[in-house]
Structure 1
Amino acid sequence: MASKQAIHKANMAFARWCFDACIPFNAMRSPYFKPMVDAIGSIGVGYKAPSYNDMRVNLLRDCKKECQLFIDSYRSQWANCGCTIMGDGWTDQRQRTLINFLVYYPTGKSFVKSVDTSDILKDATNLCNLLMEIIEWVGPDNVVHLVTDNASNYVAARRLIHEKYDHIYWSPCAAHCLNLILKDIGKRDHVAELVSRASKVTIFVYNHIYILSWLRKRSGWKEIVRPGVTRFATTFITLKSIYDHKHDLQALVTNKYYTSHKLSKSPVGKTVTSIILDGEFWEECLFMVKIAAPIIRLLRVVDADEKPSLGYVYEGMIRIQKAIMAIFRNKSIMYGPYIKIIDERWDKHLR
């Protein structure tokens, strides 16, 4: 049994290596971390860590082979139960347009490959060819279902695939559909104006460290969520975040710390101050947060990986409509435009 001093010495050696290599602390939560430590401990004194060349050549090759054998072991399940091919399009930090292809089956899901489509015209023919390549790799007889985004080019590609394999059915991505509903709501004139005003407040706060440092000293302060590029839900999450900071922001613009500063007297400062002190702005924020809340709740359910969520979608859409009707006290003239947006997307993509 090692002494406390020896254990602490080993921990410090490990910590120095982590700090020097800038390894994030979350790495210790990896499922492979404890087996790695146990394997090293089982060898005992004299263990020599793999070299740089071993890691980038030999061990990388062996891990790739191990993964391939692991995936191959699932092929029998694909044949017995059938599987779903999922295509997930996204844009990375270098603005490359990528599509990840995955295979889903009862016991889990497997990543197949990622394709850079930045220089490819994403029309129905090319998308069909990409999906056909994955179908042929998995085995046409093993595939029963496709799930992709809801864009018209994917819909057209689905028709081409169905002409060749009439046993393969297509479903749109429920999360994408809900995002498009939020996008359509965000396009409404009064919502777009509200988001623009909220954005001015956020930009003003985060562009001036003088203001931000004061806010960060407030008890219970949390950073304001800023809108993302592709996820339309973040627009409404930002409105909720802004509303949660209502009292902090109002305390700022009425505090001598701010009013005595030249920023408060600048044109942009006066504009932001008027927005923060406008009671109607906060009422509209709360109103839109309430409308978007049931949609975002369902989006989180269908976008999670914990369990299959399709069974929640239909009931969830009914709950969304009932919640919006209740917000407007069942006055059809007021809730009508929002229900129309939901129905149009729902009829087009999920029904």
Structure 2
Amino acid sequence: MIKATLSHPGETIKFPSCQELKGWILPDAVKEMQQYVTEMKNSRANTSCSVLLDGWVDSKGRNLINISVYCPRGTVYLRSSDISSFNGNVDPMLLFFEEVVEEVEVENVVQIVAYSTSACMMEGGKKLMEKRKTVFWTVDASQCMELIQATFLKLLRDACPDELVKPSKITSIVPSLTLENILSRQEHLVTMFQSSNWRISILASTSEGKRMSETVEDQSCWTRALKAVKVTIPLVEVIKLLNGNNKPQVGFIYGTLDQ
């Protein structure tokens, strides 16, 4: 309304009254939205659609799911459901998925895009695909990336229980300390990338995973890393001296630099 008044200098625009706002304006807006939803529903038979699940835990501890339906014409909110009573139980979860698919009309549904990689939800989705052969179950891309990262971190922690990144209050020396630490774990890292657990992981088949694997197994890479460490670590020791609480004598600093 403010934009409308500013765009027509010299003209007087009458604002809707309270009666108008709660009278004809709201029903008209509802009617317009209902028409939009009907158009979306009618288009699903021609284009098919995806069911989108988005869940969270509210302040009362309830597990809630928002259900939306996407098709090329647009996205429509279907409803919200409280799954607290059966969250973690596969059979009721499967029944819930089936009810959603039936509500949207199963012949129009191509896939369900879930928001969680929990065992219950994944198993429920697997069973749904077995019962409804035309419906595909998948997980939101961000959740897939989190799952891939979690899998990789588990492999890394199994191979190297200690953190590879070496923290320091002096941020400028962290890369050198970390490289030195990685060098000390060379054997463990090479073994990890040669293991069957790595080969069957999702990340191993990606371009980034292949690049990491090739880098770790390239001996020339380790040789260059060793040269870098031999050059930088003595300088790191000097920087530590200069930034320490107990400042050493200037002669001692020069002696260290000379070394």
Whole-angstrom distance in 1 between the partners of 2:211 and 2:26:
52
Of 177, 181, 187 in structure 1, the residue corresponding to residue 144 of structure 2 is 177
2-side partners of 1:141 and 1:158: how far apart?
A: 17
Structure 2 match to 1:63: 29
Q: Do residues 152 (structure 1) and 45 (structure 2) align?
A: no
User: Would you say 1:137 and 2:25 are equivalent positions?
Assistant: no
Residue in 2 that maps onto 1:101: 67
1: CA distance, partners of 2:6 / 2:36:
21
In 1, Cα distance between equivalents of 2:204 and 2:25? 47
Q: Secondary structure at the match of 1:49?
A: coil
1:49 partner amino acid = P
Secondary structure of 1:276 counterpart: coil
Deviations 1:102-138 (A, max 9, x none): 2222343333223233454342223223322322221
Q: Which secondary structure state, in structure 1, belongs to the residue aligned with residue 134 of structure 2?
A: coil
Secondary structure of 1:73's counterpart equals helix
8 A Cα contact 1:98 1:117, kept in partner: yes
CA contact (8 A) 1:40 1:47 kept: no
What RMSD in Å do the two structures reach over aligned CA positions?
4.3
For 2:123, the aligned partner's letter is A
Local SS of the residue matching 1:170: strand
CA distance in 2, matches of 1:38, 1:329: 68
Distance 1:115 1:80 in 2: 28
Aligned to 1:125: 91
Name the structure 2 match of 1:72.
Answer: 38
SS in 2 for 1:47: coil
Do 1:144 and 1:168's aligned partners in 2 also have CA atoms closer than 8 Å?
yes
Instruction: Pick the aligned partner of 1:323 from 211, 223, 243.
Output: 211
Check whether the contact 2:5–2:13 (CA below 8 A) recurs between aligned residues.
Answer: no
Q: Distance in 1 between matches of 2:133 and 2:50?
A: 15
The equivalences for 1:1-351 within 5 A come to 37=4, 45=12, 47-51=14-18, 54=21, 59=25, 62-91=28-57, 96-148=62-114, 149-187=116-154, 188-189=156-157, 193=163, 275-277=168-170, 281-283=174-176, 318-328=206-216, 330=218
Alpha-carbon contact 1:150-1:173 (below 8 Å) kept: no
- SS of the equivalent of 1:121 reads coil
Q: Distance between the aligned counterparts of 1:102 and 1:118, measured in 2?
A: 19
**Structure 2 CA distance for partners of 1:283 and 1:178, relative to 1, 3 Å:** farther
Which SS does the other structure have where 2:80 is aligned? strand
2: CA distance, partners of 1:112 / 1:105: 13
Contact preservation (8 Å) 2:54, 2:67: yes
Check 1:158–1:193 CA distance in 2 against 1; reply closer, same or farther (3 A cut): same
Q: Which has the higher helix share?
A: 1
Structure with max Cα Rg: 2
Query: Is this contact kept in 1: 2:37–2:76, CA < 8 A?
Result: yes
1:229 aligned partner:
none
Q: 1:97 to 1:279 in 2, by over 3 A?
A: same
The residue type paired with residue 66 of structure 2 is N
Structure 1 pair 39/103, CA: closer, same or farther in 2 (3 Å)? farther
Percentage of pairs with the same residue: 23
- CA distance 1:276–1:121, change in 2 (3 Å): same
For the structure 1 residues 176 and 191, does the alpha-carbon distance in structure 2 shift closer, same or farther, using more than 3 Å as the test? farther
TM-score, with length taken from structure 1? 0.43
Q: Measured at CA, do residues 82 and 321 of structure 1 come closer, stay the same or move farther in structure 2, by a change above 3 Å?
A: same
Label 1:39 to 1:119 Cα distance change in 2 as closer, same or farther (>3 A). farther
Aligned pair in 2 of structure 1 residues 154, 53: CA closer, same or farther (>3 Å)?
farther
- Unpaired runs of 5+ in structure 1? 1-9, 15-33, 199-274, 288-313, 335-351
CA distance in 2, matches of 1:108, 1:286: 50
Report SS of the residue matched to 2:29: helix
Whether the 8 Å CA contact 1:194–1:284 is kept in 2: the answer is: no
- Give the whole-Å Cα distance in 1 for the aligned partners of 2:34 and 2:7: 25
Question: Aligned to 2:206, what secondary structure does the other structure show?
Answer: helix
